[in-house]
Amino acid sequence: MQERPYSQVDVFTDQPYLGNPLAVVLDGTGLSTEAMQAFARWTNLSETTFLLPPSPQAAAQGADYRVRIFTPGSELPFAGHPTLGSCHAWLQAGGQPQAPDRIVQECAKGLVPLRREGARLAFAAPSLQRSTPDDALLARVAAALGLQPGQIVAAQWLNNGPTWLGLLLDSMDTVLSLQPDAALLQGLVPGVGVAGMDQAPPAPDLIVRSNREARAFGGREPATAETDDDTPTVEVRFFAPDIGVLEDPVTGSFNASLAQWLIADGITPARYVAAQGTCIGRAGRVFITQDAAGQVWVGGHSVTCIDGKVFL
């Protein structure tokens, strides 16, 4: 065992203890996968990360560091709040990126660029694969969440490394009123995220068609919110009892894939703020922006709550 620099960071909040906590071992060199997993199980946080030098191939492509991400039970190829929190801790510990205007993280999913947005960091949402879930499975998930069929506006499988089931519900109030049955939900899906807007959106196919028609006839694109405050227009919750998380405080990977889905289908504007964690006493804020090239960026504040050493 040796002494290693260690931080615990609260992510997607600028107020300590109101976001999603992350354990960061800033020097994971020489640790086996088994040792990393054992420590992640001991911290008992939703994720624990270990920072390493980038592989030679990734370094040649601009990677500044490599991260391995563990839940108490398994390793993840990518996760959102560990990406932001690890980058925050790396920079705070004196990390110097190769490029002045961006940081590049290597993880099992590949290379993930990050950028500074004032006091926040934002990561580029990884490529997304999505598909329509089976009706029978959807009915079982709805029952486990206590939803009526008419309250589900749209549903998609979302894969950007991990695979989650995403449900768009008819309102923020519906999202906030859910009381999921963990026993019924367990074993159905790896994780399910739900989202609702301040106003119930029309059916997605109508939105997409109207947007196409607007473009075809030179009409205006849907307005985007230019304000940069933390007033949320989307409420999010995420449940994953199969990985030991009944309700996650703030879920970066799900918010990333959710944003790619909702923006692509014209359901949300290219800039919005999502709230998550409300029902469990947190105040997570996720800042979503799609740039002119079509890349979705997922941003949030991070604050260091514990800074010290760990023996590993």
One-letter amino acid for residue 84 of the chain: L
Cβ atoms 168, 143 nearer than 8 A: no
- Do 114 and 23 belong to one domain? yes
pLDDT tens figures, 111-138? 999 999 999 999 999 999 999 999 999 9
Higher pLDDT, 206 or 265: 265
- Per residue in 6-51, pLDDT (tens digit) is 999 999 999 999 999 999 999 999 999 999 999 999 999 999 999 9
Q: Decide if pLDDT at 212 tops 50.
A: no
Residue 133 sits in the same domain as residue 73: no
Give yes or no: residues 191 and 244 share one domain: yes
Residue 205 has pLDDT above 80, yes or no: no
**What token pair was written down for 195?**
């989202």
Residue 208 and residue 89 share a domain:
no
Query: Are residue 54 and residue 148 in the same domain, yes or no?
Result: no
Number of domains in the chain: 2
| Distance of alpha carbon 254 from alpha carbon 164, whole angstroms | 7
Are 77 and 166 part of one and the same domain?
Answer: no
> Which residues are registered as beta bridge partners of 123?
114, 298
CA torsion through residues 250, 253, 254, 255, sign:
positive
Partners of 99 in the β-ladder: 102
Residue 281 and residue 162 in one domain: yes
175/156 Cα distance (integer angstroms): 17
Q: Are residues 94 and 134 in the same domain?
A: no
- Residue 169 near residue 196 (C-beta atoms within 8 A): yes
- As a residue count, the chain comes to 312
Nearest CA among 297, 284, 287, 288 for reference residue 11: 284
> HSE of 6 in the Cβ direction (CA atoms, 13 Å)?
14
Residues 263 and 182 in one domain: yes
For residue 295, is it within any domain? no
pLDDT category at 297 given cuts 50, 70, 90 is very high
Higher confidence at residue 264 or residue 219? Answer: 264
* 292 in any annotated domain: no
| Residues forming a β-bridge with 21 | 10
Q: Please report which confidence band the pLDDT of residue 244 belongs to, taking 50, 70 and 90 as the band edges.
A: confident
Domain range for 62: 3-125+300-311
Give the CATH number of the domain where residue 66 resides.
Answer: 3.10.310.10
- Parallel/antiparallel/unpaired status of strands 20-25 and 65-70: unpaired
Q: Are residues 49 and 172 in the same domain?
A: no
Q: Are residues 166 and 111 in the same domain?
A: no
Give pLDDT, residue 211: 40
Q: What is the pLDDT of residues 258-295, one digit of tens each?
A: 999 999 999 999 999 999 999 999 999 999 999 999 99
Judge whether 39 lies within some domain: yes
Output the pTM of the full model: 0.89
Given the DSSP bridges, would you call strands 20-25 and 48-52 parallel, antiparallel or unpaired?
A: parallel
Are the C-beta atoms of 43 and 64 separated by less than 8 Å? Answer: no
Rounded CA separation 217/104 (Å)? 40
| 185 and 245 assigned to the same domain | yes
Examine the pLDDT at 209 and tell me if it is beyond 90: no
DSSP states along 287-309: EEEE-TTS-EEEEE-EEEEEEEE
The number of angstroms, rounded, from the C-alpha of 164 to the middle of its chain's C-alpha atoms is 11
